[in-house]
Amino acid sequence: MTSATADSSAGRVRGRPRPLRPPGWTRFDGWGVLVLPLLVFLVLVFVVPLVFMLSRSLTDPSVGLQNYRDVFANAVYPRVLGNTFLIAAIVTVVTLALAYPYAYLMTLVGPGWRMVMMGLVLVPFWTSILVRSFALVLFLRDTGAFNSTLQSLDLVDQPVPLIRTLTGVVFGMVQVALPFAVLPIYATMQGIDRRLLQAAESLGDRPAGAFWRIFVPLSAPGVAAAVLLTFVQALGYYITPALLGGPKNTMIGELIVQQVSTVLRFGFAAALATLLLLTTLLLLVVAGRFVDLQKHLMRQP
């Protein structure tokens, strides 16, 4: 990231050629070797297990594509995989719709309120997902605080079914994902020079126009980061949909856990996980054709 920022500042200086960099390690000026322990760590805990998992999906219980054939032989797995992507997409849209105005408001209020708003995002962020999901179950269930309040106010006759429904899953997952969207969006918005908006208005644009034409595009990197973080994270959710969802909202994570822990079909579970990983990567590649991910995530010119 450091080198990326250095690059971008260098790129913005006009009229001067970019400094020539020798290839290889030396571009990190020797300090780059500090990255090595992290690389070793990542290889050990991420790359090696990933390779093991991939190979297991092709070798357990026998060598070949049997596990992948099994996934598609039973309609339930493709359907749940599709369902997983659908739920992740809904969660991403809802999260974004809530996080964007929230982050924008954070840039407008004074330092005291900003602390409060930041706290409201961070405290749940630091609380265990299991605890939060279970609290939501108690809150949202038919006999829970939400429904009994509605009923005691005579607003509804029958409790509104909120858990074991798509509403419940989305509610719970959005609640978990919000900090991951608010934080990057806020970080980007904070860096936007508001004088640009004033300049636009002084040149005759209406405030709304200035906001849409100047502020929104400039906040795009934060939004792109938020979308990626929320979406990819939502794909792997397991506890929240298991607690708040109904049978129709099963996500692929639950089936993978079941295959590993109760049926003990490690190879089949590995195949499911690999398919999830591949479809995610494929989606990122497709998204990359429409959005310049590198530009938005690395903030390179």
146 binds another protein (CB under 8 A): no
132 binds another protein (CB under 8 A): no
Interhelix angle for 266-290 vs 66-73, to 10°?
A: 80
Which of residues 260, 283, 287, 297 is near another protein by CB under 8 A?
A: 260
Residues with Cβ within 8 Å of 127's Cβ and at least 6 positions away in sequence, in order, are none
Of 128, 133, 135, 86, nearest to 242 by C-alpha is 133
Give yes or no for a contact between 229 and 181, defined as CB atoms under 8 angstroms apart. Answer: yes
Which of residues 141, 197, 222, 231 is near another protein by CB under 8 A?
A: 141
DSSP code at position 165: S
162 binds another protein (CB under 8 A): no
130 binds another protein (CB under 8 A): no
266 binds another protein (CB under 8 A): yes
- Applying CB under 8 A, the span of 184-192, 196-204, 217-225, 258-266 interacting with another protein comes to 258-266
Which of residues 13, 264, 286, 290 is near another protein by CB under 8 A?
A: 264
Distance CA 294, CA 1 (A): 12
135 binds another protein (CB under 8 A): no
Q: Which is nearer to another protein, 75 or 203 (CB)?
A: 75
21 binds another protein (CB under 8 A): no
Q: Which is nearer to another protein, 124 or 246 (CB)?
A: 246
Query: What mask of x and - would describe binding to another protein in positions 89 to 128, judged by CB under 8 A?
Result: ----------------------------------------
Q: Which is nearer to another protein, 88 or 185 (CB)?
A: 88
Subset of 182-201 contacting another protein (CB under 8 A):
none
Tokens coding 176 = 């978990």
Which of residues 79, 194, 206, 213 is near another protein by CB under 8 A?
A: 79
Between CA 134 and CA 140, with CA 135 as vertex, the angle to 5 degrees is: 100
Which stretches within the chain are classed as H helix? Answer: 2-12, 36-42, 48-59, 66-73, 76-108, 111-126, 129-140, 145-152, 166-190, 195-202, 207-210, 216-235, 239-244, 252-258, 266-290, 293-298
- Name the amino acid, one letter, at 107: T
57 binds another protein (CB under 8 A): no
294 binds another protein (CB under 8 A): no
Between CA 190 and CA 199, with CA 195 as vertex, the angle to 5 degrees is: 145
74 binds another protein (CB under 8 A): yes
36 binds another protein (CB under 8 A): yes
Interhelix angle for 66-73 vs 76-108, to 10°?
A: 80
Long-range contacts of 11-17 (CB under 8 A, 24+ apart): 11/300, 11/301, 12/301
How big is the site for another protein, counted in residues (CB under 8 A)? 39
- Applying CB under 8 A, the span of 29-37, 208-216, 218-226, 275-283 interacting with another protein comes to 29-37
- List of residues contacting another protein (CB under 8 A): 25-26, 30, 32-33, 36-37, 39-40, 43-44, 74-76, 79-80, 83, 137-138, 141-144, 164, 242-243, 246-248, 250, 255, 258, 260-266
